[in-house]
Structure 1
Amino acid sequence: MNITNFAFPTAIKFGPGARKLVAKQLLKEGCKRPLIVTDRGLSALPVLAEFMTHLDGLDVAVFSGVHGNPTCSQVMDGAVAFKAHGADCIIGFGGGAALDVAKVVGIAATHEGDILEYVWDHPQVRPIVNKLPYFVALPTTSGTGSEVGRAAVVGENGTHVKRIVFSPKILAKVVFADPELTLGLPAHVTAATGMDALTHNIESYLSPAYHPLCDGIALEGTRIAASALLTAVKEPGNLKARSDMMMASMMGAIAFQKDLGAVHSCAHALGAVCDLHHGLANALMIDTVLAWNYETVPAKFDELAHVCGVAGGGKALVPWLQQLKASIGITGRLAAHGVKPEHLPRLVEIATADICHQTNPRPCTAGDFEALFKAAM
């Protein structure tokens, strides 16, 4: 194994085979009874069974109640499983949904109340006062970068509106970023999650917030994703492309502490109203929103085009994105993915209320969101 160690600020063990180091790390910390938090589909696949062969010396239980976009009830069910096992630590294993749930199961297991009482904008938000279980994260997709984030997105049970628990206390103690875990991903999942990573980097760079450190990370993350995504989709066994996408995914999540933009506000609305996969929703909206943003920050579009290797400057970036999407199999407009005109009022309402567009380079009104959704329909 050729493992590279980072601290940014989370300790990261990056490279093929990193998953084999988890047991040693947990035992070193005195942890013996981990709860693996994963999603329903992944739990039935060989990748989880193979990972568990490397957990010798541990008494392991699995909670696989995550499915679709993560919800409050999934977190609370995970907390019940944690207590039933007498767990002393948590292993998050999966894509963004599983990792977001895993990050806050420890809160629900050690604190009173519903997890939604811990979201940052709750009128009587509860503080995280008790010690949280030791938590490590293993991403199995290259999209959200949730493994390095200090926020967890959970949806309300009824409305599916996305709410955010935000605290440095929920950061993983160690991230085991093993690109071999992504080798079995289907092409459509690689494509959608890869577009999520690319969107994170692009929107972070376009945000007007002042954060040159994140700008540098976002530009390099964009360059890496732009170079690797097509190969990762077309050559699923290409370990270099898989490694590059995993790195770009983490870089996007690190960069978006600078905040995101209107693409994500639209995607959050599409997830809540139409239950669209988050990465797919970003992919379906990114060219429409960026075309609308272009006139506000043309110099930044020039930089993005440069790192993506796009000839013709910033004006050529959106056509390049459209061609990239077609090349990786993301086709059709919103209507082709189940979005209907009657969804529009609720989509506009949720997107307008979403916090992400507050750092869009061009201010967005409800009327703007209505026009953007119609343009993408």
Structure 2
Amino acid sequence: MTINFDKMFTFSQPGRRVFGFGTISRVGKEARSLAGGPRAQVITDSKLMELGLVEPVIEALKAAGLETEVWAGVAGEPTQGLIEECRKDIENFAPDVFVGFGGGSSIDVAKIVAGLMTNPKDLHDYFMKDLGVGRFENPSKPLLAVPTTAGTGAENTWLAITSLDDVEGKVGFADPKIIPPRALVDPGLTMALPPGITASTGIDALTHILEPYLNANTNPFTEALALQAVRIVPVFLPRAFKDGKEKEARFQMMMQATLGGLTLNYGGVSEGHLIGQMVGGRYHIPHGVSQGIALPYCLRYSLDIFPEGLANLANWWGIDISGLDIKEAGLELIKASVDLLKELGMPWNLRQIEGVNRDDLPEMASAIATQPYFITTAASCCRKINTEKDYLWILERMYEGNFLD
């Protein structure tokens, strides 16, 4: 591994996390201990309500002596309108503690709205629009995060992605004050996930661990976590995909999602998330799916910049790289990533996505190269100064399915 010993890196640990099957049984106790008063606000999505998964949480909170209300309006990725609607609907209730129950979107909405409860200005006022990044002035209301997917690791990150009506593209809160002080991470909550969501969220978790290792901020923490993930995910994600009731597979993937959130805090993302967020937002593709499509082609881009990193990952993936030079080993890793996507029934090029037009690619490349959020992220994480031409190079290969050239 190549480490810049003259460059400092920052790492921070979130608050207490309780991990394991059955930890959801502690939701009442944990929320009660966080609350500075008697009112608990659950933020979730309507699908989980329909499945009956939220009702036991409500009952546990009430049994712990907390007056409880539920806001189940999360749908898709967070937007300004959705966040403002949530804030307006719950502000009269004046929650003392929040419970974010669901996937990454539900937890991100809970993180932002919990912050707005103690930061009463308009949402826009907390964004530095020239950077595309938002930060609060005051600490957030207490938040207990309970993830129900093994993907984003949002319970551990100081990031929350959203959009603003008058700002093109995505913006993001990047603020340690929004890290949930406590989380219950129960692999059992993922047992009922359908195969497609299992696959896409699992790939998302993998990218959250690989990108901080391959980017400019790589350090001993990101290396250790990445080299574990490439041993675990290729084995256990297909098993969870094929048999959602397999406890070991669900345990291992929930752990990788959790570690992925920590790894993002240690190193940030890279080209894969810049490309994936642009493509996903434009064509309304689930985040994990767009990240999966971007993965092989961003690995190919990294091969010319950090070949020893890809060779290390190939070795830990379990690929036989004996007799291969560094770049040849990296190419084997890229092939393995495509094989994994195919095994999971996921798209691996943009032509497989309905509505994607090759003529759109230059516009997307230009947007990534010029929008403040993407510029800020790239400047803080990527190994080189990427140009519009670089992003177009990746997008064209994503469209054609050309991951080897």
Q: Please give the TM-score of this superposition, normalised by the length of structure 2.
A: 0.85
Distance 1:123 1:307 in 2: 37
- Counterpart position of 1:324: 340
Q: Aligned to 2:363, which of 343, 346, 349?
A: 346
Q: Deviations over 1:183-212 (max 9, x none)?
A: 111111111111111111111110122522
Q: Aligned to 1:15, which of 3, 20, 26?
A: 20
- Counterpart position of 2:224: 216
- Counterpart position of 1:266: 275
Q: Deviations over 1:250-307 (max 9, x none)?
A: 2112112312211111011112221211110010111112112213222111211122
State whether residues 103 and 170 of structure 1, in contact with CA within 8 Å, keep that contact through their aligned partners in structure 2.
Answer: yes
State whether residues 206 and 256 of structure 2, in contact with CA within 8 Å, keep that contact through their aligned partners in structure 1.
Answer: yes
State which drifts further: 344-353 or 133-142: 344-353
Distance 1:297 1:128 in 2: 36
Q: Aligned to 1:369, which of 391, 398, 404?
A: 391
Residues 342, 67 of structure 1: alpha-carbon distance in 2 compared, 3 angstrom cutoff: farther
State whether residues 201 and 221 of structure 1, in contact with CA within 8 Å, keep that contact through their aligned partners in structure 2.
Answer: yes
Shift of 1:223: 2.6
- Counterpart position of 1:37: 43
- Counterpart position of 1:205: 213
Distance 2:24 2:290 in 1: 30
Q: Give matches, 1:205-244, under 5 Å.
A: 205-244=213-252
Distance 2:59 2:79 in 1: 30
State which drifts further: 23-32 or 363-372: 23-32
- Counterpart position of 1:286: 295
- Counterpart position of 1:3: none
State whether residues 227 and 308 of structure 1, in contact with CA within 8 Å, keep that contact through their aligned partners in structure 2.
Answer: no
Query: Which ranges in structure 1 are unaligned for 5 or more consecutive residues?
Result: 1-6
Is residue 87 of structure 2 the alignment partner of residue 79 of structure 1?
A: yes
Is residue 313 of structure 2 the alignment partner of residue 304 of structure 1?
A: yes
Alignment: residue pair count: 371
Residues 124, 347 of structure 1: alpha-carbon distance in 2 compared, 3 angstrom cutoff: closer
State whether residues 120 and 164 of structure 1, in contact with CA within 8 Å, keep that contact through their aligned partners in structure 2.
Answer: no
Distance 2:130 2:145 in 1: 27
State which drifts further: 217-226 or 179-188: 217-226
Distance 1:9 1:111 in 2: 21
Residues 10, 207 of structure 1: alpha-carbon distance in 2 compared, 3 angstrom cutoff: same
Shift of 1:122: 5.5
Residues 77, 318 of structure 1: alpha-carbon distance in 2 compared, 3 angstrom cutoff: same
State which drifts further: 135-144 or 296-305: 296-305
1:179 corresponds to which letter in structure 2? P
Distance 2:294 2:132 in 1: 34
Residues 296, 345 of structure 1: alpha-carbon distance in 2 compared, 3 angstrom cutoff: closer
State whether residues 158 and 178 of structure 2, in contact with CA within 8 Å, keep that contact through their aligned partners in structure 1.
Answer: yes
Residues 49, 157 of structure 1: alpha-carbon distance in 2 compared, 3 angstrom cutoff: farther
Shift of 1:53: 3.5
Distance 2:111 2:347 in 1: 33
Shift of 1:157: 3.5
Identical columns (%): 27
Distance 2:312 2:80 in 1: 40
Q: Give matches, 1:91-170, under 5 Å.
A: 91-121=99-129, 128-157=136-165, 161-170=169-178
Shift of 1:127: 6.2
State whether residues 42 and 71 of structure 2, in contact with CA within 8 Å, keep that contact through their aligned partners in structure 1.
Answer: yes
Q: Deviations over 1:69-118 (max 9, x none)?
A: 11112112221232132321110011111111110102223323332332
Distance 2:114 2:151 in 1: 23
Corresponding residue SS for 1:164: strand
Corresponding residue SS for 1:47: coil
Shift of 1:129: 3.7
Corresponding residue SS for 1:63: strand
Shift of 1:59: 1.8
Distance 1:345 1:64 in 2: 38
Distance 2:82 2:353 in 1: 26
State which drifts further: 318-327 or 40-49: 40-49
- Counterpart position of 1:4: none
- Counterpart position of 2:3: none
Query: Which ranges in structure 2 are unaligned for 5 or more consecutive residues?
Result: 1-11, 322-328, 400-405
Shift of 1:10: 2.1
Residues 189, 210 of structure 1: alpha-carbon distance in 2 compared, 3 angstrom cutoff: closer
- Counterpart position of 2:5: none
Shift of 1:158: 6.3
1:132 corresponds to which letter in structure 2? S
Shift of 1:123: 7.4
Shift of 1:329: 0.8
